[in-house]
A and B are shown apart, each in its own frame.
Chain A
Amino acid sequence: MCIKSCRAKLQLYIEVKSEKDYNFMGHDLVLNIENLEVSFEVKDIPYFVLRSVNLELYTKQKIAIVGESGSGKTTLANSILLFNDKKITTYFGNINFYPIKKCDELTHQVIPIIFTEEIEKEDRTEFDIHTLDEKFMSHVRGFHISMIFQDPFTALNPVLRVGEQVGEVIKIHNQKLNKKEIYDKVIELFTLVHLPEPEVMYKKYPHQLSGGQIQRVCVATAIANRPEILIADEPTTALDASLKESILSLLSEMTEKFDTSLILITHDISIIKNYVDYIYILYAGEVLESGPTKQIFYNPLHPYTQFLFSCYVDKTKKGQKLPSLPYEIPDLSDQDFIFEKCIFLNRCQKKIKRCEEEKPEVYSVKGQKVKCFLYEK
């Protein structure tokens, strides 16, 4: 009885707290993905890698996309920047981007000095990223939307000094700056990302830096032009566990300092608790659950999210067998399965007969969105 009442109180607390905390509606929308479908055609067989993905990102908001290997996290990030192979990729749906920084649409040149001027709210226009040509996209990449890649060791050119590589990114988007100004900006960036002795670091080659230092250089490169959106694709996977926290807090610090929105892609849900505001749980190309971080952590709704949390170990579980589900990502070319049935059907332990007959819709439950029949009102 006591536990029940405590749980009820906790529930109430979470709901009230999360409503107060989650107030991104007051901010402006920078990215709105509507019904995105991405398919790859390999040897004449279409693979439907992402299906009906909806995602909203506001200024200063930090979101996380969480999922296992093969769930489509990186494909989603690549779709935002059109990095997927054009020859085999087909897109449906919209990726609407609302730039805040000024730029000339026709000449692809930045008109005002960057870092300062913003477009007035009423003058903002919407771009569907998929309609933009490659020339414009090259302007968007690095200036409006930046990306940090999974493996920092392959992200940098091994034969160029790290300082020059960061300077190059600034130079491309700011043709008017001279060498001295660029050098000063790089040193300023290295100081911001807490690299020791920035002047010495400028002259070093990637192999002379540690994994954490290289990832800090990558963060400096990504924020060099103060983009509206920063996409971090598993920024901590290739690093030691002791460095993970420091890189995540650095990302969090940088996004707060520059009012940048963050999309953090990860397979490790445990490390993001203190760093993001909103979580999307992705499974085999579909968003199964989304909601404010605290609610997802304290009250996971979808059986898949519950399973992910139950896999975490600590000393209280010592001696117990951990829950395990067969590791099977569904065949993404099997249209009868992926469009007609619940995508989590094969691994779900709470499945009902209806899951095999039709696909669940997205149901709203107290601020969380969940794709499961168990929550149909």
Chain B
Amino acid sequence: MNKFLLEVKNIAKSYSIYSTLFQIEVAKKSVLRNISFSLDYNTSLGILGPSGCGKTTLVKIISKIEQPDSGEVLFEGKNINSYSKEEFATKIQMLFQNPYSMLNPKLSIEFLLKERIKQSFVLSNQEVNNKVLDSKINELLEIAMLPKNILNMYPHQLSGGQRQRVAILMVLSLYPKLVILDEPLSALDISLQAQMLNFFSELKEQFKVSYLFITHDKNLAEYFCDKILNIHEDGKYELR
């Protein structure tokens, strides 16, 4: 087993700014400047920083949505680009700020969860039948403390907290080792925020998941995370 779960080495990224007319490149905006850090197994790292400092760009690079200009990302000692798409899906998953963006409004919760579970079985070359699917769904609902009647509902019929829980169940059904949480609590009520934080902590113990937790809230990061990566507007950063 490798010492670190995730290693980010000298990542740099800049975006081109184009003129409105003729789309000519007029400038380059440097977002990330040689960022390096590592993440141990079963730990959570908070990423703090103002808007536009490159938090989302960093996690997009880690989750292979974007490629860096320079530097590399290692997951369990291997470069993330060496993993196949299917293999990578079981390694890193991302939970977005708005759970609506993960839930197809035309599909019922049961269908959405079943599809994900089927996918996880296919990825691990296991056979799946309806009985296994049902027991798996029941198990997941128990973890998230969700009632069974939500299976027949559609995303718009759920409360904000329920939607966020269904979204995280979809993420967990693939049993990833690292979950990236992009401002998962900012749209929730304070009582739901407390519930979700308890839920994330339980999952960390139960499934040995590691978290990359993007937030603006310093108090929240200090409560939930073992380490904090603070990115400043000028591209400098500190890890504590």
Indicate whether B23 reaches chain A with its CB closer than 8 angstroms: no
Q: Is A322 an interface residue (CB 8 A)?
A: yes
Give B31-62 interface residues, CB cut-off 8 Å to A.
50-51
Bound form: Cα–Cα A307–B160 in Å: 19
Q: Flag whether B151 is at the interface (Cβ < 8 A).
A: no
Query: Counting CB contacts under 8 A, is B122 at the interface?
Result: no
Please tell me the number of chain A residues within 8 Å of chain B, measured between CB atoms.
26
Per-position binary interface string of chain A over residues 302-342, scored 1 when its CB falls under 8 Å from any chain B CB and 0 otherwise: 00000110011111011001111101000000000000000
Q: With A308-B191, A323-B194 as given contacts, are A242 and B220 in contact (CB-CB < 8 Å)?
A: no
Which residue of chain A lies nearest to B226 when distances are taken between CB atoms in the complex? A318
For residues 119 through 161 of chain A, which have their beta carbon under 8 Å from a beta carbon of chain B?
none
A299 at the B interface (CB under 8 A): no
Measured in the bound complex, the distance between the Cα atoms of B220 and A4 in whole Å is 30
Evaluate contact between B216 and A242: CB separation under 8 angstroms.
yes
Binding site for B on A (CB under 8 A): 68-69, 237, 240-243, 267-270, 307-308, 311-315, 317-318, 321-325, 327
Known: A312-B219, A327-B159. A242 touches B195 (CB 8 A): no
Q: List 28 A-B contacts (CB under 8 A).
A: A68-B189, A68-B191, A68-B192, A69-B160, A69-B189, A240-B50, A240-B51, A241-B217, A242-B216, A270-B190, A311-B194, A312-B190, A312-B219, A313-B194, A313-B219, A313-B220, A314-B219, A314-B222, A314-B223, A315-B223, A318-B222, A321-B198, A321-B201, A322-B198, A324-B194, A324-B195, A327-B159, A327-B195
Q: Are B191 and A311 in contact, CB atoms less than 8 angstroms apart?
A: yes
Kindly report which residue of chain A lies nearest to residue B145, judged by CB atoms.
A326
What residues of chain A lie closer than 8 Å to B189, measured between beta carbons? 68-69, 267
Complex: how many Å from CA A267 to CA B198? 20
Instruction: Write the nearest CB–CB distance from A144 to chain B, whole angstroms.
Output: 32
**Chain A residues whose CB sits within 8 angstroms of the CB of B186 once the complex forms:** 241
Which residues of B lie under 8 Å from residue A323 when comparing CB positions? Answer: 194
Tell me whether B150 is interfacial, beta carbon within 8 Å.
no
Asked if B74 is at the interface of the complex by the 8 Å CB criterion, the answer is: no
- Most chain A beta carbons < 10 A, residue from B189, B191, B194, B215: B191
Residue among A243, A313, A321, A323 with the highest chain B CB neighbour number at 10 A: A313
